[in-house]
Structure 1
């Protein structure tokens, strides 16, 4: 790993939080609010620099604006400028009603770097897939044509690469080929990150580094024909990824797992 530079920029990615519409409701048998709060508690107890906090979709599980405000309240102790994009379980209008923070497509000037956030929730198929619409693909092409000397990190919710899990490959980015073509034509794209998979992935895409962060809620077991939760070992724990963007265009990432909160005892 290259040494950090005084001008390095640190990004923290949290994804697939799946807060339920009401506090106390369980998502796949876990309290997603408590789990996210546990991740925040962990981050507050370590020396992890955070310049920008990236929330990469499926933040709330079909909830209204109050659920997104609850999410932002849980995250309030963390430093860093906030950015969020919707996933297939998010309600975009509710996200916009919760705060004035931009939602979806956004360009962020990071000095030496540029951050491009994309909304991959267009054209849902009802099973979990989503796509970038034509206007957004055109926007991305235009942005990549500008300042080609500055390295770029792209964030979106849906994975643009197949994973080897048949059921997940059916609900990946719907127009992944069009996206990959744009990345391949832009060598300044140094990294692409996503959520959606509820697992860690480290790959390459069209010459760029590709990372997926685990969920702050539950994890999905990789390389499966059918849906299966990861129920044992470190890979079943909630987690996050951090990214360090260096002035020379290099990028480093680290994966951190957090001990899950114990389930509430049953009464009676």
Structure 2
């Protein structure tokens, strides 16, 4: 059995101590990591699913890796629309963080870069080469249950402003998923919300942000203010050998955020 931890949308600023939407993103992540260490059993892999740094350089990504290091996990990351891929590559001194294929038990995880063709507002797409790569990967091991991991949500959520900046070519992705019954689900970030949606007949799970959450179902941008949903959070997943997935939410207790 494989246990995955997903941390997303950390938005660490270029310099530690700077605020992101009124919160210290570094301190939020530090407290979340400390809580995960003390309260939860070890995981096997850590997925960092984009918008990890808010337009920062390699130093900010190295700071991120230092903060999550106490979890002692195999770390894998993908970029979001606020990330700088070149800076991520410079901070990856092992050369392993950007590996796009994870084999764990009898499962395969395929990590996708959805930052192609940005529209300047937050949307992104899967490039033609990324789609071709995915098609080849899906054809290689149809007997293995597979999860897809990307930053941008490929399906609408009911928030007008967020639906305008979702994955730009979701139909092309859906066509590949439709043809691959061994794809058991999709994991994304980007929404700053805990969501269970559906995409191409598969479950789509989004993770909360490790710093601030966005209110769901809004015409325009709003921060979440409900104390039960507004704190830094994460998701974790249990992947069963028979191809089943159990998805769980983790929300930092309010008393630990101040």
- Distance in structure 1 (CA, Å) of the matches to 2:143 and 2:189: 27
Partner of 2:59: 66
Matches within 5 A, 1:211-230: 211-230=205-224
Shift of 1:104: 5.0
- Distance in structure 1 (CA, Å) of the matches to 2:82 and 2:141: 34
Partner of 2:159: 165
Q: Which stretch of the first structure deviates more once superposed, 206-215 or 50-59?
A: 206-215
Aligned-partner SS, 2:39: coil
Matches within 5 A, 1:101-116: 101-102=95-96, 104=98, 106-116=100-110
Matches within 5 A, 1:1-268: 8-99=1-92, 100-102=94-96, 104=98, 106-260=100-254, 262=257
Alpha carbons of 1:104 and 1:162: their partners in 2 closer, same or farther (altered >3 Å)?
Answer: farther
Q: Which runs of 5+ in 1 are unaligned?
A: 1-7, 264-268
- Distance in structure 2 (CA, Å) of the matches to 1:243 and 1:90: 25
- Distance in structure 2 (CA, Å) of the matches to 1:237 and 1:34: 12
Shift of 1:185: 1.1
CA contact (8 A) 2:155 2:198 kept: no
- Distance in structure 2 (CA, Å) of the matches to 1:38 and 1:47: 14
Q: Deviations over 1:231-260 (max 9, x none)?
A: 122111111000011111111110010035
Alpha carbons of 1:103 and 1:81: their partners in 2 closer, same or farther (altered >3 Å)?
Answer: closer
Shift of 1:161: 0.6
The number of aligned residues is 256
Shift of 1:262: 4.7
- Distance in structure 1 (CA, Å) of the matches to 2:156 and 2:14: 31
Q: Which runs of 5+ in 2 are unaligned?
A: none
Alpha carbons of 1:136 and 1:212: their partners in 2 closer, same or farther (altered >3 Å)?
Answer: same
Aligned-partner SS, 2:20: coil
CA contact (8 A) 1:86 1:103 kept: no
Shift of 1:85: 0.1
Q: Which stretch of the first structure deviates more once superposed, 102-111 or 251-260?
A: 102-111
Aligned-partner SS, 2:70: coil
What TM-score comes out, normalization by structure 1 length? 0.93
CA contact (8 A) 1:95 1:103 kept: no
Point out the structure with the larger helix share.
2
CA contact (8 A) 2:2 2:105 kept: no
CA contact (8 A) 1:129 1:158 kept: yes
CA contact (8 A) 2:231 2:257 kept: no
Aligned-partner SS, 1:39: helix
| TM-align CA RMSD | 1.2
